[in-house]
Amino acid sequence: DVALGFQQLSELLGVPGIDVLGPLPPEIQHVTVFAAAVSVSCAQPDAARALLDFLAGADAAACKRQHGMEPA
């Protein structure tokens, strides 16, 4: 008897007691793309832009990979 499940890799990496075998083949994968923006009513737009710049930069890329995500 084998339990089999499919989920985003970033969701599975922190679950104890499972073995991640790898990604699905590219032809059946569904990639989730995350987007972010600064609202026109944002109280601190410069801080928001700085955060988005950091998240899009090289320093955050290694952290994304460690958590099962691929940087854009």
Q: Distance of CA 7 to CAs 37, 57, 63, Å?
A: 26, 26, 20
pLDDT-derived band at 5, boundaries 50, 70, 90? confident
* pLDDT tens-digit readout, 9-30: 899 988 999 888 888 899 999 8
CA angle in degrees (0–180, nearest 5) for 3-17-31 = 70
CA distance 9 to 39: 30
CA distance 61 to 67: 10
CA distance 5 to 19: 11
How much is the mean pLDDT over the chain? Answer: 92
Supply the pTM of this predicted model. Answer: 0.70
